[in-house]
Amino acid sequence: MDGRRLYLASASPRRRELMMNLGCDVNLIEPREVDESWPETMRPEVAPVYISRKKAEAYCHDLTPDMIVVTADTVVIADGKVLGKPHSADEARDMLKMLSGKKHLVVTGVTLTTTEGLHSFATHTTVSFDNLSDEAIDYYIENYKPFDKAGAYGIQEWIGYIGISGISGCYYNVMGLPIHDLFKHLALI
């Protein structure tokens, strides 16, 4: 990284853990308030990069030449619909029922920001769920409170152990940060 310092602008404990395990010094900075909406005409698969760039732009005026700021956004797309973070147990239950027995797409957009500009990329992972019983869904919601997770689940939690039958793509992308791709793109800037 040529003597530059890496900063993660995220409140996500999973992203912070993944970045810390990357093997380089990472500074954590608080994310700034950003409107995370996107144009209605935009395809859902494109939205995460769009949002990660909006998040990155909040830091552009505060950078020094030795800084690289990492921002990210993850969406779960099922049946052509974006599943955000659930606001209630009922909403989480509905999301998990929608995912049950089907495949869905997880897309994370990442932007690396320096004084030289913004470099963005997206990583796509397909996740397959077995059929989930109502009891399993209720147990997960009650014990794991997945209200801070897109699609109402964490692959690294109990529901991932018992419910996910397969993935095609990056496991860490489903957790919220495609570390393999991030490492490759850091070498490009």
- Distance CA(152)–CA(85), nearest Å, equals 6
Host H or E run for residue 80? none
Q: Measured between alpha carbons, how far is 109 from 52 in angstroms, rounded to an integer?
A: 6
CA distance linking residue 176 with residue 54, whole number of Å: 17
- Identify whether 73 is a catalytic site residue: yes
Residue 82 burial (CB count, 10 A): 16
The whole-model pTM stands at: 0.92
Asked if 140 contacts 100 with a C-beta cutoff of 8 angstroms, the reply is: no
CA distance 144 to 138: 10
Kind plus residue range of the DSSP H or E element containing 188: none
Per-residue confidence of the chain (189 residues) as pLDDT tens digits?
678 899 999 888 888 888 888 877 888 898 899 998 899 999 999 999 999 999 999 999 889 999 999 999 999 999 999 998 999 999 999 999 999 999 999 999 999 999 999 999 999 999 999 999 999 999 999 999 999 899 999 999 999 999 999 999 999 999 999 999 999 999 888
Select which of 2, 25, 62, 73 is catalytic: 73
For the chain, report the end-to-end CA distance as a whole number of angstroms. Answer: 8
